[in-house]
Amino acid sequence: MATLRETTWPAHQRLERRLDVKARFCDIATYRAHLEAMWGFYAALEQRLGPDRFGAALSDYASRRKLPLLTRDLTALGAAPEAIERLPQCAGLPECADTSAAFGSAYVLEGATLGGRTLLPLVHARLGLGAAHGASFLASYGELTTARWRSFGAALDAWCATAARSAVAAAAAVATFESLERWLCGGAR
């Protein structure tokens, strides 16, 4: 975890600077557009990670998927199920060819879960949305967020105990941040 945190810090900070969350959460329409973009990213990446990519190394991966929460939020905000299924999906993702790379990409998704908890009060205050209606993606694990982050970290640390695996995970995490930045913010830096 420490290696990934250090290696991804520049990409993470660049994404946060470019994202402009306050503008994305200023009204329901821009918030919904943000969720649609996140749906397109998660749909593609969660499919790439697949249910068997982690095996016993992260046996609860299926319960960590966020696509159902994004779908629930978009439906609550008025999107028809068939329209959700037709949303564009991100094509420029890292390969995640092995478990180490999958852990690197999942590190970004799990970290976004931590970030979501800090954004939830903003969405509630500005838009009146909460975990039960329109912001389940941000609420995600609820009170279990810290415990689930720690259990993910323990699984990542156990799998990536060698320098080679850690390097692969770190490279995949950076590539995932960069892919998310391009997807949400465009190519220019």
- Structure confidence at residue 189 (pLDDT): 47
What gap in Å lies between CA 34 and CA 17, rounded to an integer? 16
User: At 15, phi and psi to the nearest 5?
Assistant: -60, -45
Domains identified in the chain, total number: 1
Cα-based distances in Å from 183 to 24, 64, 177: 14, 22, 10
The domain that holds 167 is classified in CATH as: 1.20.910.10
- Structure confidence at residue 21 (pLDDT): 85
Q: Which two tokens stand for residue 41?
A: 């990213």
- As a whole number, mean pLDDT of residues 36-65 equals 94
Q: What is the pLDDT of residues 54-90, one digit of tens each?
A: 999 999 999 999 999 999 999 999 999 999 999 999 9
Q: Print the domain residue range for 126.
A: 2-185
Torsion of CA 150, 155, 157, 158, to 10 degrees: 140
What gap in Å lies between CA 152 and CA 64, rounded to an integer? 10
Closest CA to 115 of 28, 57, 180: 180
51 — pLDDT class (breaks 50, 70, 90)? confident
Q: What is the pLDDT of residues 132-159, one digit of tens each?
A: 999 999 999 999 999 999 999 999 999 9
